[in-house]
Amino acid sequence: MSFDPFFKSLFSGVLLGSLYFMMATGLTLCWGVLGIFNFAHGAIVMCGAYMAYVCILSLHLNYLVVFALITPFLFCLGIFIERFIMRPLLSQTGKMAFTAVIMTTLAISNILENAVLMIFGGRMKRLPKMFKGVIRLGPITPTYDNIVIITVSLVILITMVVALKKTKVGMAVRAVEQDKEASYLVGINVKRVYSYTLAISSVLAGIAGVFLGSIYVLTPSMGGDPILLSFIVIVLGGLGSFQGAIIASYIVGLIQALASLVVGTHWARVVLFLCLMLILMFRPYGLFGERVG
């Protein structure tokens, strides 16, 4: 009886963890392969949600069709960002190259947010529910939507693991992650791998955005909050570590849910920030990352 809220927050922790996992995977892949930190990831999350909004409320499409439609769009967005913005920057060699990349991703994020603000206005919008109804499982009552989100994130998880291990592109991605020069030597088209990585991470972010929009509300700045948590996830998991990101996203989701239960939703962010501070102070290389310094 008295443990009901506890189980409820455990469940919402798993749910949040699934969402963070979808966002953090893209970020950690980007870091591992390109060696950049993509601050525009949150804006891409937001773009995915707004694309779904257009598809559903103006074109009256089914959610399944929506995913089929927005995936190529997000893929192209990722390739565009890599080809025309990141590639000229990454080929610069200078003291400030790394800073330039961070600044550029912040600028991209600003451009996307303001573009959406210009087109749709700042008012909150809602996506309709995917499925109606709830299931009763003892103390927790997940909606069908929640089950779908958790299932899809598990499917994505398995697909990613298999794709990285078995497919040619996946192996190329891992090879570039380990050693860029050696990958050139064995004939991998490193620049194309960069493009694919950013494209895949954008697709994952966009899909996460649709799910996020179906739970919460859509605003032009909705990407800021989850992106901060994805940062915490990939720092906790260790930068560039795929397994680390998986485990850490669920840990962060659970911490956030339990902190919301204890100190309230708004202060939960502060608690997570304190966690980030502690991680950075004592284990800056994360739980699974390689020790760098």
Beta bridge partners of 137: 140
The Cα 243–Cα 289 span in angstroms is 10
Of 1, 91, 136, 181, which one interacts with another protein (CB under 8 A)?
91
The answer to whether residue 170 forms part of the interface with another protein (CB under 8 A) is no
DSSP 63: H
Residues 219-278 that bind another protein (CB under 8 A): 221, 224, 228, 231-232, 235, 266-267, 269-270, 273, 276-277
Would you say 244 and 236 are in contact if contact means Cβ atoms under 8 Å apart?
yes
DSSP string over 137-186: BTTB--BHHHHHHHHHHHHHHHHHHHHHHHSHHHHHHHHHHH-HHHHHHT
Q: Which of 82, 113, 145, 177 binds another protein (CB under 8 A)?
A: 113
**Going residue by residue from 192 to 221, which x/- string records binding to another protein, judged by CB under 8 A?**
-----------------------------x
Does 85 bind another protein (CB under 8 A)? Our answer is yes
Q: Please tell me whether residue 218 adopts helix, strand or coil conformation.
A: strand
Token output for 293: 């310094």
100 binds another protein (CB under 8 A): yes
Give the nearer residue to another protein in terms of CB position, either 106 or 155. 106
Phi and psi, residue 223, nearest 5°: -75, -20
185 binds another protein per the rule CB under 8 A: no
3-state secondary structure of 60: coil
Return contacts of 187-192, CB within 8 angstroms, 24+ apart.
191/87
Element (H, E) at 282: helix 265-282
**By CB under 8 A, is residue 115 in contact with another protein?**
yes
> What part of residues 51-80 is at the interface with another protein (CB under 8 A)?
none
Does residue 111 bind another protein (CB under 8 A)?
Answer: yes
Kindly state the smallest distance separating residue 221's Cβ from another protein, in Å: 7
**Which one, of 209, 193, 220, 204, lies nearest residue 79 by Cα?**
193
Is residue 154 part of the contact set for another protein (CB under 8 A)?
A: no
Name which position in 92, 141, 159, 178 contacts another protein (CB under 8 A): 92
Minimum CB separation of residue 266 from another protein in Å reads: 5
From 8-16, 50-58, 100-108, 165-173, span contacting another protein (CB under 8 A): 100-108
CB-based contact 44:209 (threshold 8 Å): yes
Q: Give the nearest distance from C-beta 79 to another protein in angstroms.
A: 16
CA of residue 171 relative to chain centroid, distance: 22
Binding site for another protein (CB under 8 A): 37, 39, 85, 87-89, 91-92, 94-96, 98-100, 102-104, 106-111, 113-115, 117-118, 221, 224, 228, 231-232, 235, 266-267, 269-270, 273, 276-277, 280-281, 284, 292-293
